[in-house]
Amino acid sequence: MPEVEFEVGHTLAGERLDRALALVAAIERSVVVTAIAQGRVLVNGLPESKKARRLVAGDRVAASWDAPGAPPPPPVAPTIRWEDEDLVIVAKPAGLLTHRTHPRDERPSVADWARARFPELEQLAGDQLRRGIVHRLDLGTSGLVVLARSAVARERLEAMVAHHEMERRYLALVRGAAPSRARIDAPLGRDLRDPTRMSVVLAGKPAVTLLERCWAGPDTSLVELTLQTGRTHQIRVHLAAIGHGIVGDARYGVTLPELDRPFLHAWRLSLMHPRTGKYIEVQDPLPRELAALAERARSSPILRGA
């Protein structure tokens, strides 16, 4: 049963009890609220029932709470493509979350798998649902994801992502004959009519995707994409905006009965090692079902009636 005890200093003076305890103990506020309701949070030796109580310098806070239950194992575990004492690069299967965004979400994730596989991740401060994850892939996207195993590696890897120093390349099967090369420079933001969707909007955040066609079949093309920014749903929205939506993408592209996910795969990742500075390049081949569909699409039409 985890426990914490601390004296409130000037930094936390005036802060709400629930916020201060969540910060000091590095736990979710929902865990704190539950502990308060159960009478397991003491201020100056007495149970405190008000989560919004403002603390003053000199207050002594003691708390205990139930450790969260072990998350269910993922239906298909990630595959390790690179591992050393500083970082891990894994191949995420489609249908597995990179990390959960809410503690009530009980779906398994790469982050859950990583915490069980690498216990040292529990020592990393910050969001318990992410831990060593420094970037993410959509639920339906497969491919390479980087995890940091130390605080120093995480800081440096997050800086690489923020400054676009980590090159990520994707393969996608798209509708129609895509251009041989293209630079898609279109700002992205929430769709004004549907805030659950992203869209090209003039007031959106800058977004740039580089496209290179691998081949063109009768009614589809296989393209390689390189992100120069990392906006939500960037590749999917950019391709839809130029008329070449991703096959299997029910939200932005074109559906295909035999494919229950977007044909989008993060196949290559390259970066400078956060500690040694050595260049690393890792590749992950197309999953078997995508490779088979691509082989068929290269010589035969697959979108008739779609």
Report, as ranges of residue numbers, the positions in the chain whose pLDDT lies below 70. Answer: 1, 67-75, 102-105, 125-130, 305-306
Provide the 10 A C-beta neighbour count for residue 273.
16
pTM above 0.85, yes or no: no
Q: Which residues contact 11 (CB under 8 A, 6 or more apart)?
A: none
Q: Where in the chain is the domain with CATH 3.10.290.10?
A: 3-64
- What pLDDT was estimated at residue 103? 65
Domain at 3-64: CATH architecture = Roll (3.10)
- What pLDDT was estimated at residue 129? 55
Query: Which CATH class for the 73-163 domain?
Result: alpha beta
User: Hey, which CATH number is domain 164-306, 3.40.50.300, 3.30.2350.10, 3.20.20.70, 3.30.43.10?
Assistant: 3.30.2350.10
- What pLDDT was estimated at residue 112? 84
Nearest to 6 by CA among 51, 32, 43: 43
- What pLDDT was estimated at residue 120? 81
Q: Where in the chain is the domain with CATH 3.30.2350.10?
A: 73-163, 164-306
For the question of residue 138 being annotated catalytic, the response is yes
Catalytic residue, chosen from 59, 138, 249, 284, is 138
